[in-house]
Structure 1
């Protein structure tokens, strides 16, 4: 019998297995496809690998501005794809090594809860093995980390259309499409738009909302959009149908239009996987957004926890990591009979987000608009990226970007940090730390930032408050 059975080996699942194994618990980790889940195999890591190649290509072409001549710059898509696969494979090997190191058993198959744990009676989980056959295992506790899949809206002409793909399909294309239409201006759609436009595709993004990345600060979203110079954006548009690779849409208050492409990416978000692992039969409380959990990642059934995208709370790999850590702390309490701690609770007010590419965007905490909606009076300061010595030295002066900091006018506590420009994804964690620790303007002014770094703009913006 296992102490914990984990369904799903994405970021939440494999990290939880590692942490529990570290505490000498007997763990079974079940994964139907590959260790690492969506993030490592068809999400975060493959896209960032391709984006790195795109950045190298763009920087090589622009190197003359910095006094470096690179002649006959070109790219080999086949080699790029091969490198992408090598990176994912190497990282999968690393996860497998960690599971072995911590004594975690791994089952390759689809996990399904037959009966949840009840008091001293262990739960039962069936594994339909990928190689054929089934197994049944008992566990004192169960953690569900079943992940998510691309959400595909019922657009007429999209079903069974070989020229319409989701993010997984676009990652595996054999060549760069000459023309790409992207339905959806969220994180996934914008990252792919920037990626393929860097490689020469004519890219059009069609978005229903009036601006891309709808959760971005409204002052920063236009900055980011304008920085994506190779992408044509159609905002405030409703997609009506797809014919072949031609997307028909209607802008607000205007006549219908159409965009002809060679390939169409549907990137309107992701949805949690709720129908393959026995959620309803187990009696779990479900909503269309995901599995209901509390701030310790407990479900409505004692002995069953959930973490990551399957909860619908925050569909980010780093959120899944933190959810797993919180769940593990509570699972250990359950297994060992100790009193629950007070600090291991899931909080969402300081979860950073990032959009990657040649130009990046990132943020954490409240936007100015969210603060206004909550009736919070704020102080704000924004600085252009070009005033940073590091940014000026490594980027053209025409580069778009800014760092914006928002603070509570009454208390001085930092409420939000938002950035558009190179390196934004690498320093946004600092904003998360300021918000998580509830630091005030006066506190941040005393922190020493290394010079020259782009992260100094956070400090400079705080002084600007």
Structure 2
């Protein structure tokens, strides 16, 4: 049998592409070496949110007295949290299998390797001892944790002292002292959970701020909130060695160490391009990632790549949108990938969400910008649900035309509000357009409309 499409990798990009292609009537084979859902469903997005929700309930119970709710001796049962997480993941994996069945997608479990072309120019992919053939090929193999050459890191990983996102989401006991290398998304979310679970958390970050590419002010607010929770930070630090019970780092000319029972290495991720047989068909790999164009095509006609493996924007929802573009291109539909309005969220407490430009990135593009910042306390619901909350929203516009370029938030419901801001950025909505939208009351999202009235009324152009 010759399939219309073989997809290597069953993560968000892969299974989303399979679902769309199958629904359109294509004969699809999906190959997954481990578990459907990929890192997101099994070792990332979903399990971490399950843990964080348990932590949120515990934190709210502990703070309940301020709201008239008294709960004594609140504890977080970590083993129960992990068990619930596993049930959530299992249920969602079953849901993915059901979607594949509903769309007539053939699923093969095993490691897929491209072995070349047929005499007709089709693509061969081998799984164990079986060779499958297709007209088109989509590579969606995702990414793996980066493990930099820090002395003692590999040994620590082998003996269980050092963990990645995979292992820490299955850890059965809360470590008394947890050192986290890296203050990005994974590091911040796990710091939040394990702090709530009772760990003494220390975050070691190479930059002088947390949150990576976050707006500077929002990063500072998050930092302040975490400090109040008792999380320690060591910024502008380079980890130089790891050994059981200790992480050594340098700050300037000083060398210091922090004691730990476990270490989380959250130093980033890299595209998974090894052992795929890419060289057999000539797929170009540049700086460790598969190069793709706006249609997610590789340099080889008929071969596409979506998700983390192309290294453009390592987010599950980016992979899903890229998958749609891939399938639409295969089907001959007009579509192309745009990255300027893809929202990002950090599920910390408080939540952080952003989309589009910061004032600095817009200025680097030569744009003259205007920025408005409002506290979320402008919203009645935020005041009703928070005591002394310091959440804000920042909106960046093109000063000449009044087009919304970026929205950045920290505070309650930011993860749920940001999609509306993404619509504004994607559609180049003007300040005046947003002013005319009716926002429900009382909601936290009202702050976006309020902010629009802080901009000047007239724009040239």
TM bucket (normalised to shorter chain) is over 0.9
Whole-angstrom distance in 1 between the partners of 2:210 and 2:263? 18
Whole-angstrom distance in 1 between the partners of 2:266 and 2:181? 6
> 1:116–1:304: 8 Å Cα contact kept in structure 2?
no
> 1:226–1:400: 8 Å Cα contact kept in structure 2?
no
Counterpart check, 1:434 vs 2:424? yes
Moved more, 453-462 or 104-113: 453-462
> 1:117–1:139: 8 Å Cα contact kept in structure 2?
no
What are the ranges of 5 or more consecutive residues in structure 2 without an aligned counterpart?
A: 456-461
Q: TM-score, structure 1 length as denominator?
A: 0.95
2:297 counterpart residue number:
298
Counterpart check, 1:209 vs 2:207? yes
Aligned match for 2:152, one of 120, 141, 157:
157
SS of the residue 1:196 aligns to: helix
2:235 counterpart residue number:
235
Aligned match for 1:221, one of 219, 222, 225:
219
Q: CA deviation at 1:458?
A: 1.2
Counterpart check, 1:346 vs 2:333? no
Q: CA deviation at 1:289?
A: 4.3
Q: CA-atom RMSD, angstroms?
A: 1.2
> 2:78–2:197: 8 Å Cα contact kept in structure 1?
no
Q: CA deviation at 1:329?
A: 0.3
Q: CA deviation at 1:126?
A: 0.5
Whole-angstrom distance in 2 between the partners of 1:165 and 1:379? 43
Deviations 1:303-333 (Å, cap 9, x if unpaired)?
Answer: 1001000000110000000000000001122
Aligned match for 1:135, one of 130, 136, 155:
130
Deviations 1:243-299 (Å, cap 9, x if unpaired)?
Answer: 2131111113x5222111111111111000001211222211111241100000000
1:121 counterpart residue number:
121
1:194 counterpart residue number:
192
> 1:2–1:139: 8 Å Cα contact kept in structure 2?
yes
Q: Show structure 1 runs of 4+ deviating over 4 A.
A: none
> 2:273–2:288: 8 Å Cα contact kept in structure 1?
no
Q: CA deviation at 1:116?
A: 4.8
Deviations 1:165-196 (Å, cap 9, x if unpaired)?
Answer: 11111111111111110111111111111111
Q: How many residues align?
A: 449
SS of the residue 2:216 aligns to: coil
SS of the residue 2:136 aligns to: strand
Q: CA deviation at 1:384?
A: 1.1
Deviations 1:60-104 (Å, cap 9, x if unpaired)?
Answer: 111111001122311211111100000000000000001111110
Change over 3 Å in CA distance of 1:117–1:422 after alignment to 2: farther
1:336 counterpart residue number:
none
1:337 counterpart residue number:
none
Whole-angstrom distance in 1 between the partners of 2:360 and 2:189? 24
Aligned match for 1:366, one of 357, 362, 369:
357
1:455 counterpart residue number:
445
Whole-angstrom distance in 2 between the partners of 1:105 and 1:287? 31
2:401 counterpart residue number:
411
Moved more, 264-273 or 236-245: 236-245
1:244 counterpart residue number:
244
1:167 counterpart residue number:
165
Moved more, 140-149 or 234-243: 234-243
SS of the residue 2:254 aligns to: coil
Whole-angstrom distance in 1 between the partners of 2:282 and 2:193? 43
1:271 counterpart residue number:
270
> 1:224–1:400: 8 Å Cα contact kept in structure 2?
no
Q: TM-score, structure 2 length as denominator?
A: 0.95
> 2:355–2:407: 8 Å Cα contact kept in structure 1?
yes
> 1:54–1:358: 8 Å Cα contact kept in structure 2?
no
Whole-angstrom distance in 1 between the partners of 2:422 and 2:266? 27
SS of the residue 1:220 aligns to: helix
Whole-angstrom distance in 1 between the partners of 2:118 and 2:216? 47
Q: CA deviation at 1:113?
A: 1.1
Whole-angstrom distance in 2 between the partners of 1:248 and 1:117? 54
2:458 counterpart residue number:
none
Counterpart check, 1:357 vs 2:358? no
Deviations 1:195-236 (Å, cap 9, x if unpaired)?
Answer: 111112111111111111121111211011111233111111
What are the ranges of 5 or more consecutive residues in structure 1 without an aligned counterpart?
A: 129-133, 334-339
Counterpart check, 1:322 vs 2:312? no
